[in-house]
Chains A and B, each alone.
Chain A
Amino acid sequence: MKFVDEFRDPDMAKSLLDKINQIVKEIPRCQQRPLQIMEVCGGHTHSIFRYGLEQLLPKEIELVHGPGCPVCVLPMGRVDDCLAIAEQPNVIFTTFGDAMRVPGSKKSLLQAKAGGADIRMVYSPMDALQLAKKNPDKKVVFFGLGFETTMPSTALTLLQAKKEGVSNFYLFCNHITIIPTIKAILDSPDMTIDGFLGPGHVSMIIGQKPYEFISRHYQRPLVIAGFEPLDILQSLYMLLVQIRDERAEIENQYTRLVPESGNRQALQAVSEVFELREFFEWRGLGSIDHSGVQIRQSFAQYDAERHFIVPNLTIADPKACQCGEVLKGAIKPWQCKVFGKECTPETPLGALMVSTEGSCSAYYAYGKIDVDNL
């Protein structure tokens, strides 16, 4: 397939792997302990497992699967809020597919749907707006979720709703931002990450600049990476070259999609509709300042949180869950006490087991070979 197979060429992968194997020999410190490289984005985690990349890398490199899966970091309390909205009469609750299975404190959206709530899967917030226009006697709520990647399409949908005067459309905003979260990880006392693969699609919106503090204040390199296997291998190589040369810079491997200054129009729409929240609760990571956005006063009529009464409670993760430690790279998914036992993709306890981008789910589905050999 054009524009896909070129980035999955096994011969090129082999030559990149040769270069990676060569360069780790030139980095003395990875002989004492493996270099920890965090891929921030769940899309990368998925590709790494999908193509079995981890098994092909030398033992001097350890991949740490970061917090960039919006479904995974959604706290249970927010799912409960979704359910409270969805189960009200006259409501059509719309959501992206993989958020359907995330467990709340009592049930998931999928279970609420089976129980009779009108919950529908959409592919875009614009589909939800269409649904609102087609059902003027219903209140149509869109469950806005995701990082800067999905934020602009939600913002544009609200702008469109306002322009068309649609009055039965609401947004339950759970959009989050990646930068404060990377900072929180860098500030955590058990942090041992040596470098980052930066999220390609987020960067397409925000550009390169917001990452500069990582190199400046924390002296860690970051390479913005694409999602195909060759993208990931090339980005890893670029990181290793920096580490060997004792540089810590922000580089961009994904130049075919990521402009240096991001997407100005998208950012404009986002800042017109959203403003930073004081703090937002992340599953496994706790509350992080300025890590989420909320709807501005000028769009208040579309804000589901203002229109509906939601419990807005903080629900603690099940005690046995170690999602937080996995997210920070302190332990591997299979080192969690409940991994593969109480917590499986069929009955996920922690959110990392829910989405195919969650590292636990990926390990469970794709990585059992290693687990069984432990």
Chain B
Amino acid sequence: MKKTRKLHASHINMSHGSGGKAMRDLIEDLFVSCFNNPQLNALEDQARFDLQSLQQYGERLAFTTDSYVVDPLFFPGGNIGTLAVNGTINDLAVSGAKPLYLSCGMIIEEGMPVSELREIVQSMKAAADVAGVQIVTGDTKVVPHGKGDKLFINTTGIGVIPQGIEISASRSKVGDKVIVNGYIGDHGAAILNARGDLALDVALETDCQPLHELMSVMLAACPDLHAVRDASRGGVATVLNEFAESASVSIRLEESCIPVRNTVRGVCEILGLDALHFANEGKLVATVPADSAEALLNAMQSHPAGREAAIIGEVVEGPAGRVVIKTGFGGERILDMLVGEQLPRIC
């Protein structure tokens, strides 16, 4: 048997991206030995799939890509690696697809400690195992110091959509209920706090988790889910605005029904920000037929990823693309997409 090459450097340098021996050391010792599956171990330029083996899951492929540039790389509850795996899995899952394969492209800044890179790669493997997906192809580039920000990861995912599922933002109908699968804003608040500028002494963790199992549970309870999206950047507010625009409907939310942790509310209160605009990494928003909403909610709450699921509003008649939120006071305000960056208020 061929001996696996060993990576001896303590920090990544330009030679690890040069295509030579150092790069082979990095790929074999770090990526191949960790991700470890027949497709990747073959060290071909591409992964190859037997189409028939895919067809057992359904007849349509779902295909998605996402790049991860989070700063800091490590934060409470996860790191850029867990994000890169779960994020792409979730983009597949919300179509109803069974996620199967991922690619992994890494752009590493010269000087990155190998120990940190190893930890991230191991987290990716762990996350992929939990979700039952394989990382079957990859690419590594190294950029000079100052030309990147430690590490960027791109993952592309392939999944298969079972027959009879037709989830689309455009399918939201007047009368539909709007459901989220739990506390919103955890990831955004955790990242803000992990940057350290605020020095808040609070327990805030990312909600990073795969959603494909929860989606299976949801589809079993309600095969006719209308629209589902995972509420990552831009938060729940952005997804709902997309739904309303795409289906030419209005959406009305009930503020008191939206699950937000007290710690996250606290961060929002201090900075004058809105949890509905905070990023999530394990939260989906769905519009579902009203008559199956309660049963669906019960099913979701039986799964760990949906324990705090809640109905937060409904699709209503009104101007296309409008999302309105009813405050605890009975007043109403528009919930728009985020404009620019979230910037904290002065005072």
Contacts and interface: CB of A to CB of B under 8 A. Distances in A.
Interface string B310-347: 00000000010010100111111110100111011111
A71 B346 contact: yes
Most buried by B among A146, A147, A345, A366: A366
Contacts of A70: 346-347
A52 B336 contact: no
B340 A56 contact: no
B331 A56 contact: yes
Contact of B197 (A101, A122, A356, A372): A122
Given A1-B265, A4-B269, A122-B197, A369 B332 contact: yes
Contact of A100 (B198, B269, B339, B343): B343
Contacts of A366: 333-334
Contact of B334 (A146, A229, A346, A368): A368
Contacts, number: 96
Contact of A356 (B262, B328, B341, B345): B345
B148 interface: no
Nearest to B345: A98
A357 B347 CA distance: 10
Given A8-B328, A123-B197, A229-B329, A43 B334 contact: no
A147 B340 CA distance: 25
Contacts of A97: 343-346
B331 A369 contact: no
Interface string B11-24: 00000000000000
Contacts of A150: 346-347
Contact of B346 (A55, A56, A96): A96
A13 B328 CA distance: 10
A145 B345 CA distance: 12
Interface residues of A, number: 46
B161 to A, nearest CB: 36
Interface string A33-60: 0000000000100100111111110000
A149 B347 contact: yes
B266 interface: yes
Contact of B340 (A54, A201, A346, A357): A346
B64 to A, nearest CB: 28
A259 interface: no
B339 A56 contact: no
Contacts of A55: 331-332
Contacts of B262: 1
B344 A98 contact: yes
Nearest to A48: B331
State which size class the interface on B falls in: 20 to 34
B333 A367 contact: yes
A127 interface: yes
B346 A52 contact: no
A338 interface: no
Given A123-B197, A365-B336, A201 B329 contact: no
B72 interface: no
Contact of B324 (A110, A149, A365, A369): A369
A356 B272 contact: yes
A201 B344 contact: no
Contacts of A49: 333
Contacts of B272: 46, 356
B347 to A, nearest CB: 5
A123 to B, nearest CB: 6
A201 B347 CA distance: 9
Interface string B213-225: 0000000000000
B331 A346 contact: no
B269 to A, nearest CB: 6
Interface string A5-28: 000101001000000000000000
Contacts of B329: 8, 10, 13, 51-53, 56, 229
B198 to A, nearest CB: 6
Contacts of B344: 96-98, 121, 123
Interface string A333-374: 000000000000110000000011100000001111100100
B197 A50 contact: no
Nearest to A229: B329
Most buried by A among B319, B324, B347: B347
A368 B197 CA distance: 35
Contacts of A1: 262, 265-266, 269
A204 to B, nearest CB: 11
Most buried by A among B198, B266, B333, B344: B333
Nearest to B198: A123
Nearest to A100: B343
A346 B338 CA distance: 10
Most buried by A among B322, B339, B341: B339
A98 B339 contact: no
A239 interface: no
A293 interface: no
A92 interface: no
A43 B272 CA distance: 10
Contacts of B266: 1
A365 B332 CA distance: 12
Given A52-B327, A346-B339, A346-B340, A146 B332 contact: no
Contacts of A372: 319
Interface in B240-288: 262, 265-266, 269, 272
A98 B343 contact: yes
Contacts of A146: 346-347
A99 interface: yes
A229 B330 CA distance: 12
A149 B345 CA distance: 13
Given A52-B327, A70-B347, 4 more contacts: A1-B269, A96-B345, A110-B341, A127-B197
Interface of A: 1, 4, 8, 10, 13, 43, 46, 49-56, 70-71, 96-101, 110, 121-123, 127, 145-147, 149-150, 201, 229, 345-346, 355-357, 365-369, 372
17 contacts: A43-B347, A50-B333, A54-B331, A70-B346, A70-B347, A98-B345, A98-B346, A99-B346, A101-B340, A110-B340, A121-B343, A146-B346, A150-B347, A229-B329, A346-B340, A369-B324, A372-B319
Can you list the 7 inter-chain pairs with the closest CB atoms, starting with the nearest?
Answer: A52-B331, A97-B343, A366-B333, A97-B344, A345-B339, A96-B346, A149-B347
